[in-house]
Amino acid sequence: MQIRPEHRFFYPIDWPQLSAVIRFDRARGRCEGCRRPHGRLVYHLGDGRWWDAGAGTWRDGRGRRVRLARGQDVLGIVRTTHVVLATAHRNHDTADNDPANLAAWCQRCHITHDRPEHQRRRWRTLFRRKAAGDLFGGPYA
C-alpha cells in the first residue's frame, strides 16, 4: 500500500528497507495473517477462503486448511486477486517501528485490521463537517 504524500513525514527515512526486511526476510514473502503469497494471482471465494496452489488445498482467512462442503459449486463464485504484501503497524502508531509492532499483511488482512481505525476517522471527519456547518451555516434543516 502506498503512503499518502501528506503522511510520508510520519515514517522514518529508511522505511522502504525496513518494510522489505519485514515482508521478505521475516515473513518470507507470505502474509502473516492468512499466508497468501506475495506477487501471486490467488483464487478466492470472497469470504476469506483461498486456494493455496503450492499445498494443493483451500485455506481460511487465517491460513488454516479447510474443506469445502461436498457438492459446493465454487466455479460460479471463485474470484482472483493479485496479492501485494504491505508492512503495517499493529498499533497504528507510525513512530513505533519496533519489529514486534510491524506485520507483513496482504490487502485483505491489512484492511480488516484497519477497519476500526478507518471507521473512527470517518466518524471524526463527518462530525467535523457537521460542526463547521453548524458554526458557519447555522443549524441544518
Strands of the chain, DSSP E:
41-44, 50-52, 57-59, 65-66, 79-82, 86-89, 102-105
Q: Tell me the average pLDDT across 57-69.
A: 90
| Pairwise CA distance, residues 128 & 93, whole Å | 22
pLDDT digits (tens, 9 = 90+) for 105-124: 999 999 999 898 888 888 88
What local confidence, expressed as pLDDT, does residue 98 receive?
94
Question: Of 42-46, 117-121, 135-139, which gets the smallest average pLDDT?
Answer: 135-139
pLDDT at 131 over 60: yes
Buried b (16+ CB within 10 A) or exposed e, 83-95: bebbbbbeeeeee
Q: Tell me the average pLDDT across 74-95.
A: 90
Q: Quick one: cell of 137? A: 451555516
Residue identified by cell 513505533 is 96
Q: What integer best gives the mean pLDDT of the chain? A: 88
